Protein backbone atom coordinates (compact mmCIF):
# COMPACT_ATOMS: atom_id res chain seq x y z
CA UNK A 1 0.00 0.00 0.00
CA UNK A 2 2.81 2.42 0.91
CA UNK A 3 4.61 1.64 -2.37
CA UNK A 4 1.38 2.24 -4.29
CA UNK A 5 0.88 5.64 -2.65
CA UNK A 6 4.50 6.66 -3.37
CA UNK A 7 4.21 5.57 -6.99
CA UNK A 8 0.98 7.50 -7.41
CA UNK A 9 2.55 10.58 -5.84
CA UNK A 10 5.55 10.42 -8.19
CA UNK A 11 3.24 10.06 -11.17
CA UNK A 12 1.25 13.11 -10.15
CA UNK A 13 4.46 15.09 -9.66
CA UNK A 14 5.68 14.06 -13.09
CA UNK A 15 2.53 15.51 -14.66
CA UNK A 16 2.47 18.55 -12.39
CA UNK A 17 6.03 19.74 -13.04
CA UNK A 18 5.67 20.19 -16.82
CA UNK A 19 2.37 21.98 -16.29
CA UNK A 20 4.02 24.36 -13.79
CA UNK A 21 6.87 25.05 -16.22
CA UNK A 22 4.38 25.69 -19.00
CA UNK A 23 2.45 28.08 -16.80
CA UNK A 24 5.61 29.97 -15.93
CA UNK A 25 6.63 30.18 -19.58
CA UNK A 26 3.21 31.46 -20.51
CA UNK A 27 3.30 34.21 -17.88
CA UNK A 28 4.14 37.54 -19.59
CA UNK A 29 7.53 39.10 -18.73
CA UNK A 30 7.45 42.33 -16.76
CA UNK A 31 7.40 45.27 -19.16
CA UNK A 32 10.47 47.53 -18.97
CA UNK A 33 9.85 50.82 -17.20
CA UNK A 34 9.35 53.97 -19.26
CA UNK A 35 11.28 55.92 -16.60
CA UNK A 36 15.03 55.90 -15.98
CA UNK A 37 16.84 57.64 -13.13
CA UNK A 38 20.65 57.73 -12.95
CA UNK A 39 23.27 59.56 -10.94
CA UNK A 40 26.87 60.48 -11.64
CA UNK A 41 29.87 61.63 -9.62
CA UNK A 42 33.45 62.51 -10.45
CA UNK A 43 36.74 63.87 -9.18
CA UNK A 44 38.76 66.04 -11.59
CA UNK A 45 42.26 67.49 -11.30
CA UNK A 46 40.63 70.78 -12.40
CA UNK A 47 37.42 72.03 -14.03
CA UNK A 48 37.55 73.43 -17.55
CA UNK A 49 34.39 74.84 -19.17
CA UNK A 50 34.67 75.26 -22.92
CA UNK A 51 38.42 75.20 -22.46
CA UNK A 52 38.50 77.99 -19.83
CA UNK A 53 39.56 77.19 -16.25
CA UNK A 54 36.92 77.46 -13.56
CA UNK A 55 38.83 76.33 -10.44
CA UNK A 56 42.20 78.07 -10.89
CA UNK A 57 43.94 74.77 -11.61
CA UNK A 58 42.66 73.18 -8.39
CA UNK A 59 40.64 69.94 -8.08
CA UNK A 60 36.90 69.82 -8.65
CA UNK A 61 34.23 67.50 -7.24
CA UNK A 62 31.29 67.14 -9.59
CA UNK A 63 28.04 65.23 -9.66
CA UNK A 64 24.45 65.19 -10.77
CA UNK A 65 21.23 63.29 -11.38
CA UNK A 66 19.35 62.59 -14.62
CA UNK A 67 15.80 61.51 -15.43
CA UNK A 68 14.68 60.26 -18.83
CA UNK A 69 11.43 58.95 -20.30
CA UNK A 70 11.04 56.45 -23.14
CA UNK A 71 9.37 59.22 -25.18
CA UNK A 72 12.74 61.03 -25.31
CA UNK A 73 11.98 63.71 -22.71
CA UNK A 74 14.71 64.25 -20.11
CA UNK A 75 15.69 66.57 -17.26
CA UNK A 76 18.61 66.81 -14.89
CA UNK A 77 20.87 68.69 -12.53
CA UNK A 78 24.69 68.87 -12.42
CA UNK A 79 26.98 70.64 -9.93
CA UNK A 80 30.64 71.57 -9.45
CA UNK A 81 32.79 73.76 -7.24
CA UNK A 82 34.19 76.88 -8.95
CA UNK A 83 36.60 79.73 -8.13
CA UNK A 84 35.58 83.36 -7.51
CA UNK A 85 38.25 84.64 -9.89
CA UNK A 86 36.72 82.80 -12.86
CA UNK A 87 33.92 85.39 -12.89
CA UNK A 88 31.87 84.25 -9.88
CA UNK A 89 32.58 86.82 -7.13
CA UNK A 90 31.28 85.70 -3.76
CA UNK A 91 30.36 82.22 -5.02
CA UNK A 92 31.96 78.79 -4.95
CA UNK A 93 29.49 76.45 -6.66
CA UNK A 94 27.91 76.01 -10.09
CA UNK A 95 24.45 74.46 -10.37
CA UNK A 96 23.14 73.52 -13.82
CA UNK A 97 19.48 72.70 -14.52
CA UNK A 98 18.51 71.36 -17.93
CA UNK A 99 15.81 69.58 -19.87
CA UNK A 100 14.92 68.64 -23.40
CA UNK A 101 14.01 65.92 -25.88
CA UNK A 102 16.29 63.53 -27.72
CA UNK A 103 15.83 60.51 -29.94
CA UNK A 104 17.91 58.10 -32.01
CA UNK A 105 17.16 56.40 -35.32
CA UNK A 106 19.80 53.80 -36.10
CA UNK A 107 23.16 55.60 -36.35
CA UNK A 108 21.50 59.04 -36.21
CA UNK A 109 20.43 61.11 -33.22
CA UNK A 110 18.80 64.45 -32.43
CA UNK A 111 18.75 66.51 -29.23
CA UNK A 112 17.11 69.84 -28.41
CA UNK A 113 16.81 71.52 -25.02
CA UNK A 114 17.74 74.34 -22.68
CA UNK A 115 20.11 74.78 -19.73
CA UNK A 116 20.26 77.29 -16.88
CA UNK A 117 23.65 77.87 -15.22
CA UNK A 118 23.27 79.28 -11.71
CA UNK A 119 25.91 80.40 -9.17
CA UNK A 120 24.27 80.91 -5.75
CA UNK A 121 25.82 83.53 -3.48
CA UNK A 122 27.53 85.43 -6.28
CA UNK A 123 27.35 89.22 -6.43
CA UNK A 124 28.11 90.57 -9.90
CA UNK A 125 28.00 94.19 -8.75
CA UNK A 126 30.13 97.06 -10.09
CA UNK A 127 32.63 96.87 -7.22
CA UNK A 128 33.16 93.12 -7.52
CA UNK A 129 33.66 92.59 -11.22
CA UNK A 130 36.86 90.96 -12.41
CA UNK A 131 38.28 91.01 -15.91
CA UNK A 132 35.80 88.38 -17.22
CA UNK A 133 33.12 91.14 -17.20
CA UNK A 134 35.22 94.01 -18.55
CA UNK A 135 33.77 94.75 -21.98
CA UNK A 136 34.44 98.51 -21.87
CA UNK A 137 30.76 99.21 -22.65
CA UNK A 138 30.23 101.43 -19.63
CA UNK A 139 27.65 98.97 -18.32
CA UNK A 140 28.02 96.65 -15.32
CA UNK A 141 26.38 93.40 -14.31
CA UNK A 142 24.25 93.18 -11.19
CA UNK A 143 22.89 90.40 -8.92
CA UNK A 144 23.64 86.68 -9.07
CA UNK A 145 25.73 85.35 -11.94
CA UNK A 146 23.72 83.07 -14.26
CA UNK A 147 23.42 82.08 -17.90
CA UNK A 148 20.46 80.72 -19.86
CA UNK A 149 21.04 78.88 -23.14
CA UNK A 150 19.11 76.84 -25.65
CA UNK A 151 20.86 74.12 -27.65
CA UNK A 152 20.36 71.82 -30.61
CA UNK A 153 22.52 68.85 -31.56
CA UNK A 154 22.73 66.15 -34.21
CA UNK A 155 24.80 62.98 -34.02
CA UNK A 156 26.01 60.24 -36.33
CA UNK A 157 27.64 57.18 -34.84
CA UNK A 158 30.44 58.55 -32.62
CA UNK A 159 30.26 62.19 -33.83
CA UNK A 160 28.07 64.98 -32.39
CA UNK A 161 27.66 68.54 -33.68
CA UNK A 162 26.05 70.94 -31.19
CA UNK A 163 25.15 74.64 -31.11
CA UNK A 164 24.34 76.57 -27.91
CA UNK A 165 22.74 80.04 -27.97
CA UNK A 166 22.66 82.47 -25.01
CA UNK A 167 19.21 83.97 -24.40
CA UNK A 168 20.55 86.01 -21.47
CA UNK A 169 23.71 88.08 -21.13
CA UNK A 170 26.50 85.51 -21.37
CA UNK A 171 27.32 84.77 -17.71
CA UNK A 172 26.23 88.33 -16.85
CA UNK A 173 28.71 90.06 -19.14
CA UNK A 174 26.65 93.15 -20.15
CA UNK A 175 25.10 93.37 -23.59
CA UNK A 176 26.20 89.88 -24.67
CA UNK A 177 22.90 88.04 -25.20
CA UNK A 178 23.02 86.20 -28.50
CA UNK A 179 26.50 84.79 -27.90
CA UNK A 180 26.88 81.33 -29.43
CA UNK A 181 29.07 78.27 -29.00
CA UNK A 182 29.51 75.70 -31.78
CA UNK A 183 31.24 72.40 -31.01
CA UNK A 184 32.10 69.06 -32.60
CA UNK A 185 32.65 66.09 -30.29
CA UNK A 186 33.85 62.56 -30.95
CA UNK A 187 33.69 59.54 -28.63
CA UNK A 188 35.02 56.28 -30.04
CA UNK A 189 34.90 52.89 -28.31
CA UNK A 190 38.11 50.93 -28.87
CA UNK A 191 36.84 47.84 -27.05
CA UNK A 192 38.16 46.22 -23.90
CA UNK A 193 36.96 49.18 -21.82
CA UNK A 194 39.16 51.66 -23.72
CA UNK A 195 37.88 54.76 -25.46
CA UNK A 196 39.22 57.90 -27.11
CA UNK A 197 37.52 61.28 -27.35
CA UNK A 198 38.10 64.58 -29.09
CA UNK A 199 36.53 68.03 -29.08
CA UNK A 200 36.80 71.35 -30.88
CA UNK A 201 34.60 74.35 -30.13
CA UNK A 202 34.35 78.05 -30.95
CA UNK A 203 32.77 80.84 -28.87
CA UNK A 204 31.26 83.86 -30.63
CA UNK A 205 31.16 86.37 -27.74
CA UNK A 206 28.81 89.20 -28.71
CA UNK A 207 30.12 92.77 -28.27
CA UNK A 208 33.19 91.66 -26.30
CA UNK A 209 36.57 92.91 -27.49
CA UNK A 210 38.99 90.04 -28.24
CA UNK A 211 36.84 87.54 -26.34
CA UNK A 212 36.09 85.12 -29.20
CA UNK A 213 38.24 82.00 -29.07
CA UNK A 214 38.55 78.36 -30.14
CA UNK A 215 39.25 75.47 -27.76
CA UNK A 216 40.14 71.84 -28.37
CA UNK A 217 40.66 68.63 -26.42
CA UNK A 218 41.90 65.08 -26.99
CA UNK A 219 41.64 62.35 -24.39
CA UNK A 220 41.56 58.66 -23.49
CA UNK A 221 39.39 56.71 -21.05
CA UNK A 222 39.50 53.28 -19.41
CA UNK A 223 36.47 51.60 -17.81
CA UNK A 224 37.41 49.60 -14.71
CA UNK A 225 34.27 47.79 -13.50
CA UNK A 226 32.14 50.91 -13.89
CA UNK A 227 34.80 53.38 -12.69
CA UNK A 228 36.03 55.41 -15.66
CA UNK A 229 39.59 56.77 -15.51
CA UNK A 230 40.25 59.63 -17.91
CA UNK A 231 43.16 61.76 -19.10
CA UNK A 232 42.85 64.66 -21.54
CA UNK A 233 44.91 67.45 -23.06
CA UNK A 234 42.98 70.77 -23.17
CA UNK A 235 44.08 73.94 -24.98
CA UNK A 236 42.66 77.19 -26.43
CA UNK A 237 43.73 80.26 -28.38
CA UNK A 238 41.96 82.55 -25.87
CA UNK A 239 43.77 85.83 -25.18
CA UNK A 240 44.89 85.44 -21.56
CA UNK A 241 48.36 86.94 -21.21
CA UNK A 242 48.44 88.66 -17.81
CA UNK A 243 51.48 90.75 -18.78
CA UNK A 244 49.34 92.30 -21.53
CA UNK A 245 46.19 92.56 -19.42
CA UNK A 246 44.21 90.44 -21.86
CA UNK A 247 40.57 89.38 -21.41
CA UNK A 248 41.15 85.81 -20.22
CA UNK A 249 43.69 86.77 -17.55
CA UNK A 250 41.56 85.92 -14.50
CA UNK A 251 42.23 87.45 -11.07
CA UNK A 252 42.12 85.13 -8.08
CA UNK A 253 40.13 86.72 -5.27
CA UNK A 254 41.82 84.45 -2.72
CA UNK A 255 45.01 86.50 -3.07
CA UNK A 256 47.21 84.31 -5.30
CA UNK A 257 48.52 85.49 -8.67
CA UNK A 258 46.25 86.00 -11.67
CA UNK A 259 46.38 83.28 -14.32
CA UNK A 260 45.94 82.77 -18.04
CA UNK A 261 42.58 80.99 -17.96
CA UNK A 262 42.94 79.45 -21.41
CA UNK A 263 46.45 78.06 -21.05
CA UNK A 264 47.06 74.45 -22.14
CA UNK A 265 46.76 71.82 -19.44
CA UNK A 266 46.18 68.13 -18.71
CA UNK A 267 43.04 67.05 -16.86
CA UNK A 268 42.89 63.72 -14.98
CA UNK A 269 39.54 62.36 -13.83
CA UNK A 270 37.74 59.48 -12.12
CA UNK A 271 33.98 59.20 -12.75
CA UNK A 272 31.16 56.79 -11.90
CA UNK A 273 27.58 56.46 -13.15
CA UNK A 274 25.10 54.64 -10.95
108-144 tens-digit pLDDT: 999 999 999 999 999 876 544 344 444 444 444 567 8
CB 156 within 8 A of CB 108: yes
Q: Is 15 helix (H, G, I), strand (E, B) or coil?
A: helix
Residue 182: give its domain's CATH number. Answer: 2.40.160.40
| 43 found inside a domain | no
The total domain count for the chain is: 1
| 34 found inside a domain | no
| 32 found inside a domain | no
The model carries a pTM of: 0.85
Domain around 218:
2-25+64-273
pLDDT at position 166, please?
Answer: 98
159-207 tens-digit pLDDT: 999 999 999 999 989 999 999 999 999 999 999 999 999 999 999 999 9
62-117 tens-digit pLDDT: 999 999 999 999 999 999 999 998 888 889 999 999 999 999 999 999 999 999 99
pLDDT at position 136, please?
Answer: 43
| 78 found inside a domain | yes
| 207 found inside a domain | yes
| 190 found inside a domain | yes
pLDDT tier at 3 (50, 70, 90 boundaries)? very low
| 45 found inside a domain | no
Report the distance separating Cα 20 and Cα 18, nearest Å. 5
| 169 found inside a domain | yes
Amino acid sequence: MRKTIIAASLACAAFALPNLAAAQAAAPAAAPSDHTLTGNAGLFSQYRFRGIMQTFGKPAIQGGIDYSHSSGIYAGNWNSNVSEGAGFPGGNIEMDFYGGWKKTWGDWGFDVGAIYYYYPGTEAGPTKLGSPFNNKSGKVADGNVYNFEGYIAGSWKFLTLKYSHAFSDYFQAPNTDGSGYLELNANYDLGGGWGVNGHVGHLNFKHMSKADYTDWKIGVTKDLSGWVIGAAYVDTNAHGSCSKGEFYCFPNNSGSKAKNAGKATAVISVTKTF
